[in-house]
Structure 1
Amino acid sequence: MSRCFIQSKLHITDQNGQNQTRFAIGDSIHFTVEVINTSSKHVNFQTNQPGFDIKLMNNGQEVWSAFYNQLFMQVMMEHQLAPGESMRFNAQCEGNDNQGEPLTAGSYQVVPELVLFLDNKRLSPPASEDILLK
């Protein structure tokens, strides 16, 4: 089965679930990477644990990662999505960087990473998006 039958999307929302690209300093920022089976057949794929990551980049430097300093066993897990079914990976930034300091005002690039394999090929992650903290 071709990889084109699986699509991935990045959703960035506020604490109320509203799509946002502008946040106040200290706001909680919610990220969801959604993987969708757009085919008319069941699709089998593999992920590792946790299967994804979200990074906030500022001027090319990583300032926050959903799984900063966390280690995971490299175990591949099998998944199946029915036609039209989706799977979501969620992360939340509480407004602090990887060192626990408050994020500063400015533009940040949200870089999603996806560790999902279909037919032994890694699926491309959704495109990066920019957010603004002010």
Structure 2
Amino acid sequence: MTAKKAAVPDQPGRNEMDSEHARILAELLRLHRWAGGDSTSAARVFGLMHGFETALRQESESFGISEETQDLVEDMLDDVENGKQSADGPSIKSRLHAAGVGEVDAGAVMRLCLLQSQFLDLKQATAVPFLA
């Protein structure tokens, strides 16, 4: 007698999750368009609603902070915390600029770190202007 494998519910893959998020975003944009909000094109809403890869790719490229950017900012914060990087604002801005990280994205990553109770000693550092 052979043992049967337990049925495992299908877990959506990354593309399926992206597609589901895209449908939700499309519905929000459609409602926003209907309510007289900004001029969201019908093509954008349709593309997202129906999971067109080009629409999904375009949306993902224009939204969010990449894991690479988050890692760059966290590495810099780690260096500040360990004394390998100056904590003064111009030094931090220079390093982030050289890495291609904008102040808005850097500030968002720093806020996330503080909310996750990371780098708490840096609250008093001059990196705080990014958090203003």
| TM-score, normalization by structure 1 | 0.21
Higher strand share: 1
Higher helix share: 2
Greater relative contact order, per chain length (Cα 8 Å cut-off, separation 6+): 1
